[in-house]
Amino acid sequence: DKATGMGVRNGTDKDAEALFKCFRSLGFDVMVYNDCSCARMQDLLKRASEEDHTNSACFACILLSHGEENLIYGKDGVIPIKDLTAHFRGDRCKTLLEKPKLFFIQACRGTELDDGIQADSGPINDTDANPRHKIPVEADFLFAYSTVPGYYSWRNPGRGSWFVQALCSILDEHGKELEVMQILTRVNDRVARHFESQSDDPRFNEKKQIP
């Protein structure tokens, strides 16, 4: 793309198709927008935040694009992810107050590559907090990134991105029986264990990824 200097995201159509089917099957009203400018993304999410969500159980937004740490690309440049999600803060989007606001972000967060290592999974620690009458304006947000800060996010041109493939697969299998953190734990495990890059260029061969 001349405006951003970024390449075509081959395989992202597979992601969009899989996500549409998956979230429709879970009862979501799904809207799809392609090749948006930064201003268009801002406008769409601002409009979504201003809708009446009184009868909705939650809100989900999925961004498929190029990215850098804390930034997402539109077709004409980059925009901070926080600028997009801020519309849904509790003081701005009252009808989603105390309801889950889920943001799934399939994009690179840097250029580092993960070589992987032979090891068993470690324990997962949970942190609980007592409920309070007064809650932070950014409560009830969940951000699920396709990769950790600083790292490249892999995508197969024929099948789609590793993260979205795993997310849709786990949601199809367990989306109506497990809560979201259990879903994401399984997604992380599947991406970490079942995916590895294959390339004729040794710099990009046998690389791993963890959401």
66 is catalytic: yes
Around Cβ 137, how many Cβ atoms within 10 Å?
Answer: 13
Of 38, 66, 87, 93, the active-site residue reads 66
Of 22, 93, 108, 168, the active-site residue reads 108
Amino acid at 39: A
Element (H, E) at 79: strand 77-80
* 135 vs 90: CA distance, rounded Å: 9
Q: What are the respective helix, strand and coil percentages of the chain, to the nearest 5?
A: 35, 20, 50
What tokens were used for 155? 């995508």
Phi, psi of 210 (to 5 degrees): -135, 125
The catalytic residue positions are 66, 108
